[in-house]
Structure 1
Amino acid sequence: MTSLEGRSVEDGARPQVRRCAAGDETALALAGKATFLESYAGMIDGQAVIRHCEERQTAPYYAAALADPAQALWIAEMAPNAAPVGYLHLTGPDLPVETGPGDLEIKRIYLLSRFHGSGAGRALFEAAYRFGVEQGAARLLLGVYKGNEKALGFYARMGFETVGERSFDVGGAVYEDWVLARGLQGGLGS
């Protein structure tokens, strides 16, 4: 057994990342609720977390995203039972910074903390990077809560830099985010 973030996982067990398709909406909603709660419990208002999950972490929300050709989603699953442990949602940019036709937004990227350090977060990011390169995109952008130090550290290691700020509504409570960007030229780097 190996320890990831103080919890045990089978030796060699690593989440597998794959592109989502119609039928994955229930797994995405479960991963969305679990990872959002785990990421923000105790950090932001609990009722706001509940409301956010009831509104934006639902199977119909993800079914609509999967049906939209302008959006792409990937899921991280544990073999052999395909239990969802994280996901990535990529869209056109909807951020309060100057964007161009070659920009894509990582709308959401979450992974259960048990799997931080497993390489799954990087694999999700790499999926977005490869997709962006294939689409001829210039940059990946994302918003991240200013108080989420772990996520900020991960994004810095992935080559993101701060390009702005935004206010973000989570279940009726407003929080401040950094807007980060990373070019898609020059390879993946570290």
Structure 2
Amino acid sequence: MAAVSLEVWLNTYIRNGVNAFFADYALEQFTAARFEEILSSANETIWVSQNSIGIEGFIRVSLGSVAPIDICSDVEISTLYVQPRHQGNGAGRRLLETGLEFCASTGRPNAWLSVNAGNERAADFYSRNGFEKVGETHFQIGDQTYPNHVLRFRLL
């Protein structure tokens, strides 16, 4: 999952060369140790999509995650990553459906996520799958901030 995260994140956000600032962030965040820590938490759940060779994507749902918008519950779809060469084959949709089934089982009225404001492909995917934009937030790396849309999916 760390390798998939590194590949997807760099492919999605780093277009003009990897500088030390982004390399340091990615290499710190996307590690096997970090995923072991996530998986050891009772509030974190991850499902993977795999083919005969290995993992092609995963979804992570976090419970108890304070939303940046007060009309959202504490259920966050923290991550949905699918390797670029597997995007468009239905893996992302299947992972999202699985994650949303779990979110619905919690009894919360909705689930939320944030998506980079410049990632139109992802925002369109979520919109086609029933999410609505309900606000804005920012993703922070060090002293730099990047605008993100807050999207909500009504479960009830």
**Superposed pair shares fold, TM > 0.5:** yes
The answer as to whether partners of 2:8 and 2:81 remain within 8 angstroms in 1 is yes
Aligned residue identity for 1:62: F
SS in 2 for 1:144: strand
C-alpha distance 51-182 of structure 1, shift in aligned 2 (>3 A): same
Q: Tell me which of the two structures has the higher relative contact order, counting C-alpha pairs closer than 8 angstroms and 6 or more residues apart.
A: 1
The answer as to whether partners of 2:49 and 2:57 remain within 8 angstroms in 1 is yes
Q: 1:12-161 to 2 correspondence within 5 Å?
A: 28-42=1-15, 46-79=19-52, 81=53, 83-92=54-63, 93-99=65-71, 102-161=73-132
C-alpha distance 183-38 of structure 1, shift in aligned 2 (>3 A): same
CA distance in 2, matches of 1:48, 1:152: 26
Q: Does 1:174 align with 2:145?
A: yes
CA distance in 1, matches of 2:12, 2:74: 26
1:66 is displaced (CA, Å) by 0.6
CA distance in 1, matches of 2:16, 2:66: 24
Please give the TM-score of this superposition, normalised by the length of structure 1. 0.74
Max Rg structure: 1
Please give the TM-score of this superposition, normalised by the length of structure 2. 0.89
CA distance in 2, matches of 1:156, 1:39: 18
1:163 is displaced (CA, Å) by 1.1
**Cα deviation digits, residues 56-94 of structure 1 (max 9, x gap):** 211111111111111101112121x3x222111111323
RMSD: 2.0
Aligned residue identity for 1:170: I
Aligned residue identity for 1:137: R
The answer as to whether partners of 1:105 and 1:141 remain within 8 angstroms in 2 is yes
C-alpha distance 172-139 of structure 1, shift in aligned 2 (>3 A): same
The answer as to whether partners of 1:40 and 1:49 remain within 8 angstroms in 2 is no
C-alpha distance 44-110 of structure 1, shift in aligned 2 (>3 A): farther
Aligned residue identity for 2:11: E
Structure 2: state its 5+ residue gaps: none
